[in-house]
A and B are shown apart, each in its own frame.
Chain A
């Protein structure tokens, strides 16, 4: 249901959704192949330290825990109620949630507005609003945070700890992001599936993300922006970068969005594009771009100017980058235009056949020492706003050592508050280097275009910061 601005009581209570001291799981099944059982097991498996109260009217024990027949039987404070029950009894359980004064309710259940039960969804939502009980969902996969070892839902893994808050209407895409997190060292601060987002809206999680100390980038997967006014206000209010991937713009995608999460997109895609732009958020157009940009914004400071210096041992990566920067409206400048003195200094780190143009090609023979020196020079030059490094694994390139050089420079120059992004094009050793760089706070990618997109987003964020 539509809101015009984030509601303070919702934003205030979201801390109980992501860091609850106690959870009641209604629909906690005894059978391991049922959702309600999986929720309990995942909470236990990932080391959640709070109290877990399984609720099942048929059982006395679930996964070794005492089970309660009704929420009212618990007799202790419950922060979060997670519902894994059929849609037809959700209304009754929500009344129980209010009766026990739960702080927040999360409804995993499907079969509401998306199958034509809009009236029922609205009835439950209005009841929750009347009683100031934030309702997350329905029709979602779960939520959690690695910082509290909290995995609440039917989600097989927690992400690695990091700085990106992942707010997704789609459970499948959320799971994909979580899988990416484990596999590709994509760190998250918290994650939440919003599903039909009947009550709690993007805007409220965006404002919560602003308050969350671990979050540095707020990333939103949206199938429908049905409260654009609230979204706009919240995005303008927060200082942290917001990345949005908004789908459902195609003719059939519009219908699919409704069938999936009951999302309605009455306006043209151009309208939503403008809303996102006016909000100062970055709109990604592909899932990969969404992840890449989120990673960069979560790890790096904003880029406060257009002067990017690229240092590479491969001309190909440089050219791909040059062209893509220009396509994205952030053309690179020759190094002599940025800093004539830096051009001279760079000569020391390349053979005579290298090029100080920008990209600075320190050649395929570049050693880790050459890389380190070039990175340092670029980083420290006051005219340079950001550094993009690229590694091409020639037979004599020690990829791991170059990555370590990048990490050392990044660490020593952090106080300069300039973005540093890396490209590692190649095989297994490059993949390993990417992971290592990411683990040390440097967004690193396998292709030039990914890195360029990341830098474009950092620049866009820099402009937003400058305006404020």
Chain B
């Protein structure tokens, strides 16, 4: 029989076995990837649709045992955390192997950019459904935005998104930083981590300090999220019997399928997002550039070594960019000096730019702006099969406000 080279089988490409999908090009499709609405992924979709009113979709028994409180209390706390916007059930996908590139980009405004201009840009990013996530560095720093898209190719990013604002007078630069390895996001090791796939990290220092910093969530609340994110298998995260009762589908089949997608094929990863912003925490970013003569293996080695530190909530490794990686940690509850030293101890580091964010726009396409009533509205403009280079108007350097409004507010913003 002809080989299919399907992921998760011995026929899978040899190079995938160490870093799973690394090294790879951007935007290619692997045989065996699972669509977001595929039947193999239905268990997550039931939970995602119902957990707001049915916390019992989670494996309350498991969490109860891990945390040491009754199942009823686990359920009540989950509901409370959801309603207060502290948590959200989300999922990430290894978008690179679905045929997209994962393109982040860093925006730096000129020093004389006004608060109104900054807000104008923030609002546009917030409402732009092509942007799957992003951070506004409103708390200050050496750059101003860090946003991401998963798009079919870089032309679509440039024409479809960046060209619509990057020539404005108050923009100093926009640097595209394509993601080579997605190592950690929102505390959880992702598809390209060298080890501890799906592991949820907090440093001991952070665990202690966060309880002092705020009173909205207590140690038990944090322990619930920890338990759900650190299940040995995705098969332990949900109560498949409940999912079966709600949907009418076979619990055993759903469980087997989801384990295949998440644990074995590593295509998609459900997890609980901790919404730091609702607790008043700020995220501090280190945008790291290596000297250009740093070999790839060394760059990856450094990334893997830094990933040993659980204090970093996000770690992205870039390619073909001005910058090599970005790492972040909570400003309010972390010893940032120690982290800075940890990064600067490497002689390969040429530059570290730092900035602090108090606002995340989205989390894996789910809107986070609860103040406007949009919490968890999940929207993404499917970029597949589209060619933005033929349809997207470019904002010229001399364009003034009316054109900006025409192109962005009317066509792109909601």
Residues of A within 8 A of B46 (CB): 88-89
- Given known pairs A92-B247, A123-B248, the reply for A58 and B375 (CB within 8 Å) is yes
Residues of A within 8 A of B50 (CB): 57, 89, 92
**Could you mark each residue 67-95 of chain A with 1 if its beta carbon is under 8 Å from any beta carbon of chain B, else 0?**
00110000000000000011011011000
Choose from A60, A69, A88 the contact partner of B373 (Cβ within 8 Å): A60
B294 close to A (CB within 8 Å)? no
B359 to chain A, nearest CB (A): 20
Chain A residue at smallest Cβ distance from B54? A92
Residues of B within 8 A of A57 (CB): 49-50, 52-53
> Is A31 touching B248 in the complex (CB atoms < 8 A)?
no
Residues of B within 8 A of A59 (CB): 373, 377
Residues of B within 8 A of A58 (CB): 52, 375-377
B249 close to A (CB within 8 Å)? yes
Chain A residue at smallest Cβ distance from B42? A88
B392 close to A (CB within 8 Å)? no
- Give the complex CA separation of A70 and B248 in angstroms: 19
A216 close to B (CB within 8 Å)? no
Interface centre among B37, B247, B376, B377 (most CB of A within 10 A): B247
Q: Which of A50-71 contact B (CB under 8 A)?
A: 57-61, 69-70
B176 to chain A, nearest CB (A): 28
A372 close to B (CB within 8 Å)? no
Interface centre among B37, B54, B373 (most CB of A within 10 A): B373
Residues of A within 8 A of B52 (CB): 57-58, 69
- Give the complex CA separation of A123 and B248 in angstroms: 7
Residues of B within 8 A of A61 (CB): 373
Residues of A within 8 A of B339 (CB): none
**Could you mark each residue 314-334 of chain A with 1 if its beta carbon is under 8 Å from any beta carbon of chain B, else 0?**
000000000000000000000
Chain B residue at smallest Cβ distance from A69? B53
- Give the complex CA separation of A57 and B376 in angstroms: 10
B379 close to A (CB within 8 Å)? yes
> Is B377 touching A31 in the complex (CB atoms < 8 A)?
yes
> Is B45 touching A70 in the complex (CB atoms < 8 A)?
no
> Is B247 touching A88 in the complex (CB atoms < 8 A)?
yes
Interface centre among B248, B376, B377 (most CB of A within 10 A): B248
Residues of A within 8 A of B45 (CB): 86, 88
A24 to chain B, nearest CB (A): 14
B374 close to A (CB within 8 Å)? yes
- Give the complex CA separation of A33 and B52 in angstroms: 22
Q: Which of B386-414 contact A (CB under 8 A)?
A: 414
B16 close to A (CB within 8 Å)? no
Q: Which of A331-385 contact B (CB under 8 A)?
A: none
Residues of B within 8 A of A31 (CB): 377, 379, 414
A120 close to B (CB within 8 Å)? yes
> Is A120 touching B374 in the complex (CB atoms < 8 A)?
no
- Give the complex CA separation of A30 and B373 in angstroms: 9
> Is A86 touching B49 in the complex (CB atoms < 8 A)?
yes
A113 to chain B, nearest CB (A): 13
> Is A120 touching B414 in the complex (CB atoms < 8 A)?
no
Q: How large is the interface on A (under 10, 10 to 19, 20 to 34, 35 or more residues)?
A: 20 to 34
**Could you mark each residue 217-254 of chain B with 1 if its beta carbon is under 8 Å from any beta carbon of chain A, else 0?**
00000000000000000000000000001111100000
Q: Which of B25-72 contact A (CB under 8 A)?
A: 37, 42, 45-46, 49-50, 52-54
- Give the complex CA separation of A58 and B37 in angstroms: 20
Residues of A within 8 A of B377 (CB): 29-31, 58-59
Q: Which of A116-174 contact B (CB under 8 A)?
A: 120, 123-124
Residues of A within 8 A of B379 (CB): 31, 33
Interface centre among A32, A58, A70, A124 (most CB of B within 10 A): A58
- Give the complex CA separation of A89 and B51 in angstroms: 11
- Give the complex CA separation of A30 and B53 in angstroms: 18
Chain B residue at smallest Cβ distance from A96? B53
> Is A88 touching B49 in the complex (CB atoms < 8 A)?
yes
- Give the complex CA separation of A70 and B49 in angstroms: 12
A310 to chain B, nearest CB (A): 54
> Is B373 touching A89 in the complex (CB atoms < 8 A)?
no
Q: Which of B247-300 contact A (CB under 8 A)?
A: 247-249
> Is B414 touching A91 in the complex (CB atoms < 8 A)?
no
- Give the complex CA separation of A70 and B246 in angstroms: 14
- Give the complex CA separation of A30 and B127 in angstroms: 13
Residues of A within 8 A of B414 (CB): 31-32
> Is B49 touching A91 in the complex (CB atoms < 8 A)?
no
- Give the complex CA separation of A111 and B247 in angstroms: 13
- Give the complex CA separation of A31 and B49 in angstroms: 16
- Give the complex CA separation of A123 and B53 in angstroms: 23
- Give the complex CA separation of A88 and B45 in angstroms: 8
> Is A88 touching B249 in the complex (CB atoms < 8 A)?
yes
Q: Which of B102-151 contact A (CB under 8 A)?
A: none
Chain B residue at smallest Cβ distance from A92? B246
**Could you mark each residue 101-122 of chain A with 1 if its beta carbon is under 8 Å from any beta carbon of chain B, else 0?**
0000000000100000000100
- Give the complex CA separation of A29 and B247 in angstroms: 20
- Give the complex CA separation of A61 and B374 in angstroms: 10
> Is A91 touching B373 in the complex (CB atoms < 8 A)?
no
- Give the complex CA separation of A33 and B412 in angstroms: 12
- Give the complex CA separation of A32 and B374 in angstroms: 13
Residues of B within 8 A of A69 (CB): 52-53
B379 to chain A, nearest CB (A): 6
B252 to chain A, nearest CB (A): 14
**Could you mark each residue 363-377 of chain B with 1 if its beta carbon is under 8 Å from any beta carbon of chain A, else 0?**
000000000011111
Chain A residue at smallest Cβ distance from B244? A91
- Give the complex CA separation of A301 and B45 in angstroms: 54
Residues of A within 8 A of B54 (CB): 92
> Is B376 touching A91 in the complex (CB atoms < 8 A)?
no
> Is A30 touching B246 in the complex (CB atoms < 8 A)?
no
Chain B residue at smallest Cβ distance from A95? B246
- Give the complex CA separation of A70 and B277 in angstroms: 27
Chain B residue at smallest Cβ distance from A127? B248
> Is B374 touching A89 in the complex (CB atoms < 8 A)?
no
Interface centre among B46, B53, B246, B376 (most CB of A within 10 A): B53
Residues of A within 8 A of B245 (CB): 92
Q: Which of A420-466 contact B (CB under 8 A)?
A: none
Chosen A-B contacts, 23 in total, with CB atoms closer than 8 Å, are A30-B373, A30-B377, A31-B414, A57-B52, A57-B53, A58-B52, A58-B376, A59-B373, A59-B377, A69-B53, A85-B49, A88-B45, A88-B46, A88-B49, A88-B249, A89-B46, A89-B246, A91-B246, A92-B54, A92-B246, A111-B37, A120-B247, A124-B248
Interface residues of B (CB under 8 A from A): 37, 42, 45-46, 49-50, 52-54, 245-249, 373-377, 379, 414
Task: Name the 9 nearest CB pairs between A and B, nearest first.
Answer: A57-B52, A91-B248, A92-B246, A58-B376, A89-B49, A123-B248, A88-B247, A88-B46, A57-B53
Taking A88-B45, A89-B246, A92-B247 as known contacts, 16 extra A-B pairs with beta carbons closer than 8 A to each other, sorted by chain A number, are A30-B373, A30-B374, A30-B377, A31-B414, A57-B49, A57-B53, A58-B375, A69-B53, A85-B49, A86-B45, A88-B249, A89-B46, A89-B49, A91-B246, A92-B245, A92-B246
